[in-house]
């Protein structure tokens, strides 16, 4: 019985908290990189996405908060729209798209979900949160599909990697929606809390690699331009 409890604690608490801490570090690094290279607006949203997912993944620590259980549950149920917003915006900006109506709707959604939870009362938190989470997952899945559709030709080099990573995220989200089903075995119940942070960390490493290639390309272009300028100046001196 003791070994079973230790195994359950490892899957339900220790590993998810470690993965969330790693994801939070990735989010902070994304913020730092976005500040240094403001042209990459998608990094801001990825940092917010990573930080939000890390907070949700660290929910076992929320038990130590000096709050009533009902308030804690309502607070946790209010976080998903704050994560869906940067998730959708990250995918749109990374694909090179901007949409003011979508942005406004996402921000309005962040206010509408907590308001619905407050109006519904503690007895309906689970039902309202389940419906909202289903809608949020569908939004993120639609944004994933749009990203893949819009970049399938322009970014052939990175398309396959992003397609695999997004497919993994989609699978984790579908499993998370199915968690209330009692037929799911115990390991599957702990899968989203562990797998999602790890997949997002892998996505961050891919973004980091892509960022390094972009810097290398920019440096090569600068050196080529300097060489061209020196050559042009030398030719002009010879002509005169």
What does the pLDDT read at residue 30?
Answer: 93
Is 13 or 172 the better-scoring residue by pLDDT? 172
Long-range contacts of 180-184 (CB under 8 A, 24+ apart): 180/130
Q: Which of 16, 39, 69, 11 lies closest to 197, judged by CA?
A: 16
Per-residue model confidence as pLDDT tens digits over 146-163: 999 998 887 777 888 999
Structure tokens at 87: 């998730």
Q: Which of 115, 181, 180, 174 lies closest to 140, judged by CA?
A: 174
Average pLDDT over every residue of 107-112: 94
Per-residue model confidence as pLDDT tens digits over 172-200: 998 888 765 545 555 556 777 888 999 99
User: Could you please report the per-residue DSSP string of 120-140?
Assistant: H-GGGHHHHHHHHHHHHHHHH
Q: Is the pLDDT of residue 220 over 60?
A: no
Q: Is the pLDDT of residue 62 over 90?
A: no
State CA 238 to chain mean position distance.
57
3-state secondary structure of 93: helix
For the chain, where are the alpha helices, taking DSSP H only?
2-9, 15-36, 41-57, 69-77, 80-94, 100-120, 125-151, 156-177, 186-239
Q: How many CA atoms lie within 13 A of 43 on its CB side?
A: 21
Q: Which of 175, 172, 152, 171 lies closest to 162, judged by CA?
A: 152
For 167-197, letters b (16+ CB in 10 Å) and e give: ebbeebbebbeeeeeeeeeeeebbbbbbbbb
**Whether pTM exceeds 0.85:** no
């Amino acid at each position: 019985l003791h070994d079973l409890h230790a195994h359950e604690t490892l899957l339900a608490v220790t590993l998810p908290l470690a993965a969330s801490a790693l994801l939070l570090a990735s989010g902070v690094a994304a913020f730092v990189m976005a500040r240094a290279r403001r042209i990459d607006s998608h990094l801001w949203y990825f940092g917010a996405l990573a930080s939000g997912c890390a907070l949700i993944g660290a929910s076992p620590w929320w038990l130590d908060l000096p709050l009533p259980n009902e308030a804690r549950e309502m607070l946790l149920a209010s976080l998903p729209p704050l994560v869906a917003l940067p998730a959708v915006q990250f995918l749109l900006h990374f694909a090179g798209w901007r949409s003011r109506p979508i942005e406004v709707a996402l921000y309005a959604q962040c206010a509408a979900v907590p308001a619905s939870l407050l109006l519904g009362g503690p007895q309906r938190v689970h039902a309202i949160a389940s419906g909202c989470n289903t809608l949020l997952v569908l939004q993120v899945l639609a944004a994933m599909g749009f990203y893949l559709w819009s970049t399938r030709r322009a970014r052939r080099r990175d398309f396959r990697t992003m397609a695999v990573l997004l497919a993994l995220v989609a699978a984790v989200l579908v499993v998370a929606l199915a968690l209330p089903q009692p037929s799911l075995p115990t390991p599957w119940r702990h899968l989203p809390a562990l797998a999602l942070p790890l997949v997002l960390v892998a996505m961050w490493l891919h973004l980091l690699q892509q960022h390094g290639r972009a810097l290398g390309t920019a440096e090569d272009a600068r050196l080529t331009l300097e060489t061209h300028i020196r050559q042009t100046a030398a030719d002009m001196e010879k002509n005169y």
